[in-house]
Amino acid sequence: MTLIYHIFSLLISIVIVPLFILMSCFSKHKLKFLLHHFGFAPPQKKDNRKILWLYALSIGEVKSAKQVLKQIKEKDPSLRIVVSVTTDSGYESALKHLKMAENIFFQPLDCLPFTWLTLKKIKPDLYIIMDTGFWPGLIDQLHKKNTPIILLNGRISYQSVKAYLKIGLLFKNLFQKFDRLYMQNKNSQQAVLSLGVNPEKVKVVADLKFDALQTMTEQETAQLKNIFKLKTNSPIWIAGSTHPGEETIILEAHQQLKNKHPNLILILAPRRIERVEELAKFLEKKKISFYRRSSLGKNTPDDVILLDTMGELTKLYSLGQVAFIGRSMVKPGGGHSLIEPLSQGLIVLHGPHIENIAPVANEANRLGIAFTVYNAKDIQEKVQTLLEHSSNRIELSAKAKSFVNDRKGTTDKMAIVILNILNSKTKLFY
């Protein structure tokens, strides 16, 4: 099956490569580093140091990798770390957060000549996939070279499994080639086991995102509030990582909330910054007062702040009392992480479509620090209740922070495991 995949990838590359080059013209970084995708990764220094190659698909995976790579480098300064990404945002995030990496480049297209050339240049002693992003061709070549392959902070849904099984034996064979799979939760563990993976290779560990987050201090939050020109008496709620179709529902709820809470501010943060212009036009059409984050200046917002900058959302959660997490209200959904707002003590609302985050969301719902909402009326009622019962909200806020703090500690364990693998002729696993 893998041989057929290699042949097919060669044939389809005749069509894919020209289209990929054309699409790269509309990318901020891909055109500049186009050769990375065709196997021309940055050249490596010729020495005897061990090489760890970590693949982080996009910005979320990069953030998950930050702390574990930092600890690995601190424990073994001689280790050479290289990181590949797929998206522009992932590349920018890696440049910002992964200073310990000697090279950051774009993942090669999963076609035999390109992956072969990349491996010839890098020659990794260990290949780590962070969270998700499975390339059958590359994994097959790594396996044939006896390079250990690890899935770290693994996340696989049953929906993905169904899609994999439709392709035949390709992905079932692929997951057998992993030496170890460290999954975020039991749901992901069961999903990967259903693909026939040896249970001894699969272990559940807490999501590394729990370790990556730091609660903002009161002073830091006060400074941030000042930067955003927010009044001390203005209640704030935040809609984070929203997707098309969700903003209409959120803004309907917000307008209803303003009737009882005229000072209420909504920080609206779309998942993709490219949608800011679309949302700005929508707000103007609805005659909703708003300011873009980048143009706040001396203006004091009184209705909606449209977040048009990257990398600020996690900190901004410290300004609010309640958060709505996107990609959960409209099908196909899947849900984005609840961990960031919970770490800042926010009560979290999410829609019913949360397959990707179900274990954390279900536990948070059970503890009363997260709630499922189905429409604008649900959002309006729940936000209003939480705003009007401050003592209960403060109690829940403390519980949310404890929820995150109680699940920290995985990073150090994983750093030790990775170094054991790199520094041993045998494969030592936790």
List all residues 6 or more positions away from 46 whose beta carbon is below 8 Å from its beta carbon: none
The 10s digit of each residue's pLDDT in 403-412 is 999 999 899 9
What average pLDDT does range 392-398 have in this prediction?
Answer: 95
Q: What is the pLDDT of residue 331?
A: 93
Distance separating alpha carbons of residues 329 and 154, to the nearest angstrom: 24
What is the third-level CATH fold of 218-405? Rossmann fold (3.40.50)
Lowest mean pLDDT among 27-31, 244-248, 337-341: 27-31
Structure tokens at 59: 């910005």
pLDDT of residue 428 exceeding 70: no
- CATH class of the region 2-206+409-422: alpha beta
The closest of 11, 353, 74, 93 to 83, measured between CA atoms, is 93
Coil, strand or helix at 346: coil
What is the model's pLDDT at position 174?
Answer: 93
Question: Per-residue confidence at 233, pLDDT binned at 50, 70, 90?
Answer: confident
pLDDT at 178: 96
DSSP secondary structure of 101-128: -SEEEEPPPSSHHHHHHHHHHH--SEEE
How many C-beta atoms lie closer than 10 Å to residue 430's C-beta? Answer: 13
Q: Compute φ and ψ for 241, nearest 5 degrees.
A: 55, 50
pLDDT in the model for residue 429: 54
232/33 Cα distance (integer angstroms): 46
- pLDDT value at 427 more than 70: no
| Mean of all residue pLDDT scores within the chain | 92
Span 22-49, average pLDDT: 88
Domain with CATH 3.40.50.2000 in the chain: 218-405
3-state SS, residue 365: helix
Provide the pLDDT for residue 232: 80
The predicted structure's pLDDT at residue 200? 94
Residues of the chain with CATH 3.40.50.11720: 2-206+409-422
Q: Please check the confidence at residue 430 and state whether its pLDDT lies above 60.
A: no
> Which one-letter amino acid corresponds to residue 140?
D
How far apart, in Å, are the Cα atoms of 51 and each of 122, 128, 134, 212?
A: 8, 11, 20, 24
For the residues 356-382, what does the mean pLDDT come to? 96
> What is the model's pLDDT at position 425?
52
Cis amide prior to 359 (ω within 30 degrees):
no
Let me know: does 84 contact 53? Beta carbons within 8 Å: yes
Tally of CB atoms within 10 A around 329: 29
| Residue (of 109, 43, 67) closest to 418 by Cα position | 67
User: Residue 324 has what pLDDT?
Assistant: 98
Number of Cα atoms under 13 Å in the Cβ half of residue 20: 18
* Residues 97-156: tens digit of each pLDDT: 999 999 999 999 999 999 999 999 999 999 999 999 999 999 999 999 999 999 999 999
Q: Give me the mean pLDDT over the 12-21 stretch.
A: 85
Q: What is the pLDDT of residue 45?
A: 77
- Number of neighbours of residue 283 by Cβ within 10 angstroms: 18
**What percentage of the chain exceeds 90 in pLDDT?**
73
* Tokens 């030592």, located at residue: 428
Residue 20 has pLDDT above 80, yes or no: yes
Phi/psi of residue 47, nearest 5 degrees: -150, -175
Is 90 exceeded by the pLDDT of residue 215? no
- Rounded CA-CA distance 357/187 in Å is 10
